[in-house]
Amino acid sequence: MSRHERSSALPANLPPWRRYPIGVELAPDGGAHARVWAPGKRTVEFAAVGDADRDALTPLDSEGNGYFSGFVRSASAGTRYRFRLDGAESYPDPASRFQPGGPHGPSEIIDARAFAWTDAAWRGIELPGQVIYEIHLGTFTAAGKFRDVIARLPDLVDLGVTVLELMPVADFAGRFGWGYDGVDLFAPSRLYGRPDDLRALVDAAHQHEIGVILDVVYNHLGPDGNYLTCFSNDYLSKATTEWGDAINFDGNDSAPVREFFLTNARYWIDEFHLDGLRLDATQQIWDRSSPNILREIGEAVRAAAPERRTIVIAENELQLARLVRPIERGGDGLDALWNDDFHHTAHVAATGHAEAYFTGYRGSAQEFISCAKYGFLYQGEWYEWQHHGRGTPALDLEPPAFVNYLQNHDQVANSSKGARLHQTASPGRVRALTMILLLLPQTPLLFQGQEFAASAPFLFFADHHAELSAAVRKGRADFLRQFASINTPEGVAALDDPADPETFVRCKLDWSERAAHAEALHLHRDLLALRRHDPVLSRQPRLDGAVIGDHSFVLRWFDPDGADRLMVVNLRDRYNAQPAPEPLLAAPDQKRWSVLLSTDDPKYGGWGIAPIGHTKSSWWIAGESAAILAAVSDDA
């Protein structure tokens, strides 16, 4: 098969009941059909792993195009197997649906039809109106299993979350890790349970009207347990990424590689009823093809569940707006991009620390207004930290296409000690920034425990053998050296060891803090209720903003019926504007401003002493606070 021969249709020689072009699938009447790509191999055998000294072998037929396939009559659900290549070494299935003993062990045949779904009425999600909540399966609960998340779903509903985003679950080597070094991309990690346990989590989330999307890594493969190159070196390209060899999406024999990853995207949506994908670090996915692999991944996700609405979100450090433009307008048709610009300006505003990649941000009032109106701050301007322009024009994109956050797994861990924002900034600023995050028209994302000011850090952790652990430890320290505050002998020495089990255990959430830190929880819950139910904010009409002080600004939502909303933010000391010649501060004709919610309210941990007010000639707002006001009739 040449690099240009690409098709989503199954080959004609496969049984009509097969759903995918690769892997092992059970036949309706018993037995299983196996298919694997192993170009350059003379023979491939299905090796059923038994108790005897020798495995039971079934030869697969060469199709003459690098694929080998055949029917295995003795196979059934639970059969463990490998593929033996050229009568020598045996390896796990590259498209294994489960690795009960981890990446180095045999694969297991899974019956995807056995699970009894109850979500037939679920119609999926579309991006506008969503509130995303990112979790790491191993640390979200004490046990760290798929099914344990189910017990916490009512808490997320109560909070106002509508989409659960799972950090990668594809199986990887070791006892714990972030999941970004996955090597069995079709196999939910045995660390979190079995495949049906993930199905149970998704099914339960849908019963709670919560969508579930999965973070997938299509830019590189992990360094331990990756056997794909034993089947073909063409899985990887000559290009490299920050984490190893890049995937071969446009080189020699790239068509089967593309088929592998497109099948993976469809598989998660189809067999696990997931509502979409989050694509990790797409700036490290190298593809000069047209259409490129990112567009085809989006199309594969849509095709996998035409009866449901699905979303595809990309992380893209380059901030390429093209990725989310509609295909008919020359884009790639994805739904949203993570917005580091919002995070970075909020980080600087909250902490005053503007080192490394934060140096291009001031945390100013104008930056927040620009984020609210235009999404990205850098849309091609010069970015001193990288010594080149950053971003592309994105003024035509709708606000939901930008995913904003104050915390995520990367940014919390990059504080070196895994510190959360409430541990590095004043309470008032954190509350004010929380209002900005949760009421802006962009799509907000919360990181696990953020809503109740969790004390658990989120550190980088990865369990590998000794030699690889040493390399990972050095690589992590080298990465963090970009921060001057860390790049000292004492700072580097104080970094937590990623391979230490205690580093992982310390990151587990303590859910009892949800009651102990009720003030933070109430603020998040009340703001999300406003976002969802307020007749103006829920529709997100036209928005404008103005700077009224060095660290103070206003945002105004213009309602067609005159019921405007006004957000007033002050990120420093008490601000008093007298006079206040700013048109956005003027209430609509025959109306006045009434406070809907102030972050300085005592029930949120504020002082509550005249948090905001105005006269005919002046406005004042408490220090480090924000308030949302509604235009109401004078006689109301």
Farthest CA pair distance, the chain: 91
Identity at 160, one-letter amino acid code: G
Tokens of 467: 């030699």
Contacts 24+ apart (CB under 8 A), 472-475: 472/498, 472/499, 473/497, 473/498, 473/499
The answer to whether 563 and 628 are in contact (CB under 8 A) is no
> In whole angstroms, what separates CA 592 from the centre of its chain?
41
Residue among 137, 227, 229, 148 at smallest CA distance from 179: 137
Helix (H, G, I), strand (E, B) or coil at 482: coil
- Phi and psi at 524, nearest 5°, equal -60, -45
E-strand stretches of 481-578: 543-549, 552-557, 565-570, 575-577
E-strand stretches of 209-284: 211-216, 236-241, 244-247, 276-279
Active-site residue 209, yes or no? no
Cα→Cα distances 515→160, 426, 431, 452, 568, Å: 17, 21, 18, 8, 29
Instruction: Round to whole Å and give the CA distance between 449 and 511.
Output: 8
Q: Which of 271, 280, 463, 534 is catalytic?
A: 280
The answer to whether 616 and 594 are in contact (CB under 8 A) is no
First to last CA, the chain: 73
Given the DSSP bridges, would you call strands 90-91 and 80-85 parallel, antiparallel or unpaired? antiparallel
Instruction: Round to whole Å and give the CA distance between 6 and 548.
Output: 56
Q: What value, to the nearest 5°, has the Cα angle with vertex 10 and ends 5 and 11?
A: 70
Residue indicated by tokens 């990690």:
189
Active-site residue 315, yes or no? yes
Dihedral sign (CA 510, 515, 520, 524): positive
Instruction: Round to whole Å and give the CA distance between 86 and 589.
Output: 83
Instruction: Round to whole Å and give the CA distance between 555 and 442.
Output: 14
Helix locations, 534-608, DSSP H: none
Instruction: Round to whole Å and give the CA distance between 454 and 304.
Output: 37
> What Rg, from alpha-carbon coordinates, does the chain have?
26
**For 496-506, b where at least 16 C-beta lie within 10 A, e where not — what string?**
bebbeeebbeb
Helix (H, G, I), strand (E, B) or coil at 36: strand
Q: Which of 55, 108, 315, 463 is catalytic?
A: 315
Residue among 41, 9, 163, 32 at smallest CA distance from 97: 32
Q: Phi-psi bin for 374: left (phi > 0), alpha (psi -120 to 50), beta?
A: alpha
Instruction: Round to whole Å and give the CA distance between 266 and 19.
Output: 10
The answer to whether 376 and 394 are in contact (CB under 8 A) is yes
**For 157-180, b where at least 16 C-beta lie within 10 A, e where not — what string?**
eebbbbbbbbbbbbbbbbebbbbb
**For 113-136, b where at least 16 C-beta lie within 10 A, e where not — what string?**
eebeeebeebebbebeebbbbbbb
* Catalytic residue annotation: 280, 315
